[in-house]
Structure 1
Amino acid sequence: MNNRIQIFDTTLRDGEQVPGCGLNKEEKITIAKALEALGVDVIEAGFPISSPGDFESVKALADVIKDATVCGLSRAVKKDIECAAEALKKAVKPRIHTGLGTSDQHVFTKLKISREEVLIRAHECVSYAKKFVEDVEFYAEDAGRTENEFLARVIETAVKAGATVVNIPDTTGYCLPEEYGQKIKYLADNVRGIENVTISTHCHNDLGLSTANSIAGIQNGARQVECTINGVGERAGNTSLEEVVMILRKHNWLNFETGINTQQLYPISQLVSETMNMPIQANKAIVGSNAFAHSSGIHQDGVIKNRDNYEIIDPAEVGVNKSSIILTARSGRAALNFRLGQIGVHLNKEELEDTYQRFLKVADEINVVNDKDLKELVEGIASVNA
């Protein structure tokens, strides 16, 4: 069994669709180079036909990215495919990503065509894209809400037409993990020729299940995950790259691996946040400011004694300098003594107790006690700096 999971990053395409977070060509190049250094396998550079600016951005990335595959999105429309092919001309590893909706909702109310027409268009778009590049990915938009038997017919059509990757998007973030995993398994078991292509997940986070669904997809046969840095994307966002990568790393019994240099996760998270003007929520897994911060006395004592008590990830693994012991009114004596030691203050037992009682009063008033506040608390104590 192939246990290498391809990481397909769509920060520059799906992620950039967030209102107010558009990137210019230079910003896209900067992030793309960081993604390449991170070790992603595929960079979805944009949707070339959508605007002249996006066309130029995809063209520029195709010229500068050498190690990763550069991918351009298109609809199942000839002019889209031609535009993507033109933008990708200089890419060392070009991929055209084309497809159309497959759920009854999309087929009958958006596309307003028949199921048979979907099959015809699926074959035509993949076949046409193959005239320009060898690597063609087909997406079945809203696959999450597509009846499995029909979805299998669509995917088999795309495989026969020459698709190298088949993308099974949970476009609306509707599926439960078990449901999505079973959908991937159904395709793996029922589509002729599926063993010769890569099954890809593309999950949205409308119900907070994008990462869980992606992992369920992997466990049932998917070998590519489409994701974004910080989980950025339309509506509630996309699958978070850093979450998927670290889940696979920490649950090594699953026996899957990626090519990601995890020590670059926090730096690129900050880069994307700042460039896209998208703040990261403090409690965001892996890269949030509180991901390695401890303010509860019980947790602080445990971490001070042995980091593994409350941290399953070494901060250094993801590029964070160290854990943080945050002093609040919920902090205990161990945390106070630890932080005092960090600023060169050493107290005996009685001095620590006296300082702790005064510390609690201060913490109740100002919420978080910093180093300056600590120094003021211990002024005049004889054994300070002894």
Structure 2
Amino acid sequence: MKINVLDTTLRDGEQTPGVSLTSNEKLRIAKKLDEIGVDIIEAGSAITSEGEKEAIRQITHQGLNAEISSFARSLKGDIDSCIDCDVDCVNLVVSTSDIHIKYKLNSSRDEVIENMVSNIEYAKDHGLIVELSAEDATRTDFEYLKKVFQTALDTGADRLCPCDTVGVLTPEKSYDFYNKLSFLDGPLSAHCHNDYGLAVANTLEAIRGGATIIHGTINGIGERAGNASLEEIVVALNNLYEGKYTTDIKINQLYNASKLVSRTTGVYLQPNKAIVGENVFAHESGIHADGVIKNASTYESITPELLGRHRKFVVGKHTGTKGLKNRLKELGIDVDKEQLREIFKQVKDFSDKGKCLTDVDLQAISDKVLEKDMKQKVNLEEVTVVSGNNVTPTASVKLKTGDSEILESSTGLGPVDAAYNAVKKCLNEFSDVELEEFHVDAITGGADALIDVITKVSLGDKVISSRGTDSDIIIASVESYLTGVNRLLEENDEDL
């Protein structure tokens, strides 16, 4: 059975806190989604802004193979915005649960249906494919939901999507839910959220129950706990159901799509993420490595070749520059001789501390080296911190902006806080950037591990995620902060 794939990375995925894509970034992702075989691309929500409209128009005018869709509320103004963008389809969203009807819409069941009918007719009269999405369908009175869907079909809707908006299905309930709706004479889509970590399982069971279209996002990004992970669903269908279900997705390109989305959105991808995580085909244990060398199936149920990837073992102190360059190439990292020399030096320094490097470590080291060559409006020249028992943590920071240097010092509750406060005083001279969120990971563990700092910084209503990596938590923290600052300033085109 053919399962069609609707990707909503550019709409539901972009609703991830801190993610805001430019029109060029959206276009790059849309082209990649089309390249890997996505059937329907939900390019955004046309009513959102003029910038969003322009981004969707760019996508619709590319002549992609995929059907291009836009999200719309059941409002004629929303539909008009979709029409203006020349999309093929409108994802017409109608709230159906009593809690939404009462508290969100301040309406009634009959009014919801009446409004839906009017707007389906309006969209169809303007030549649009209509996918009717029932928001919060899994908490909707079932008899009323059936009435909504049957009325939608009678009015001309082309597809139906009962949304598990707050992720309350279980796999067993998902099968029963979709199976009970399979009597409807129209294609059913599964749109599952991951609040309980069950979005992929629920989607797979929805397919068994009768859904023929799946909604997902690359890397499972989305608001709250995210959406169903498209790559996990596709590979599971391919590998675990003995040929019963097929998609048009080119599985060997999913990893590249994942990396593009991760880089473009700035959303951190955990190393052990299923299918596309950096550690999926990395082996460190001697027993595992020995088994895999003799027969890969001993410890791998998914072959790296299926995903266009390679089996990897950790990089250590005995790695030469040729081997390192080859590994970097496999990771899609292009470096010149000087960058390779710097990465090699840092690999050796790290290994001499008794650590084995995984691909995640290597990616982090490489990112740091390559970012040094990127043109930035604000650069860190120097940071010094004094801290200890009975000593107020104090930091001094020197930043360079163009030909000017700014030197400030400050105190804080701890050394990182003091450093941030000093940076903030420097930035106050030309921009009001705020730190919204701060997250620290020790990539491999141990007191001498590389530290990966993820921050979210804001300028007005714009929020950006960024990262910094170093064995020194102070340096990693300040670099992460300044990376976000530079991205914000670049997007706002501020003159320093």
Q: TM-score range by the shorter chain?
A: 0.7 to 0.9
Tell me what 2:79 maps to: 81
1:70 to 68, 71, 75: 68
Which consecutive aligned stretches of 4+ in structure 1 deviate over 4 angstroms post-superposition?
362-365
Over the residues paired in the alignment, what is the CA RMSD in angstroms?
Answer: 2.3
Distance 1:310 1:108 in 2: 52
Tell me what 1:278 maps to: 267
Distance 1:105 1:283 in 2: 37
Q: Deviations over 1:263-315 (max 9, x none)?
A: 11011111111011112110100000111112233322221221111111111
Residue 317 of structure 1 aligns to a residue in which SS?
helix
Q: How many angstroms does 1:325 deviate by?
A: 2.4
- Going from structure 1 to structure 2, the CA distance change for 1:270 and 1:277 (only over 3 Å counts) comes to same
Is 1:114 the counterpart of 2:103? The answer is no
Residue 50 of structure 1 aligns to a residue in which SS?
coil
Gaps of 5+ in 2: 324-349, 359-496
* 1:1-386 mapped onto 2 (5 Å cutoff): 3-88=1-86, 91=87, 94-189=88-183, 194-195=184-185, 197-253=186-242, 255-320=244-309, 322-326=310-314, 366-368=354-356
Residue 38 of structure 2 aligns to a residue in which SS?
coil
Q: How many angstroms does 1:17 deviate by?
A: 1.1
Q: Which has the higher contact order (CA 8 A, sep 6+)?
A: 1
**Aligned residue identity for 1:132:** H
Q: Deviations over 1:342-367 (max 9, x none)?
A: 97xxxxxxxxxxxxxxxxxx999624
Distance 2:144 2:301 in 1: 42
Distance 1:95 1:104 in 2: 27
Q: How many angstroms does 1:131 deviate by?
A: 1.1
**Aligned residue identity for 2:54:** E
CA contact (8 A) 2:174 2:209 kept: no
Residue 253 of structure 1 aligns to a residue in which SS?
coil
Tell me what 1:346 maps to: none
Tell me what 2:494 maps to: none
Distance 2:243 2:188 in 1: 18
Q: Deviations over 1:122-145 (max 9, x none)?
A: 222211111112411100001121
Distance 2:2 2:164 in 1: 22
CA contact (8 A) 1:226 1:239 kept: yes
**Aligned residue identity for 1:220:** G
* Count of equivalent residues: 331
Gaps of 5+ in 1: 329-335, 344-361, 371-386
The structure that is helix-richer by fraction is 1
**Aligned residue identity for 1:47:** S
Tell me what 1:384 maps to: none
Give the alignment's TM-score, normalised by structure 2. 0.64
Distance 1:240 1:205 in 2: 9
**Aligned residue identity for 2:356:** V
Distance 1:159 1:105 in 2: 24
Distance 1:300 1:117 in 2: 63
Q: Deviations over 1:8-64 (max 9, x none)?
A: 001111101112211111111111111110000000011001111111111111111
**Aligned residue identity for 1:296:** S
**Aligned residue identity for 2:265:** M
Distance 1:179 1:304 in 2: 42
**Aligned residue identity for 2:221:** V
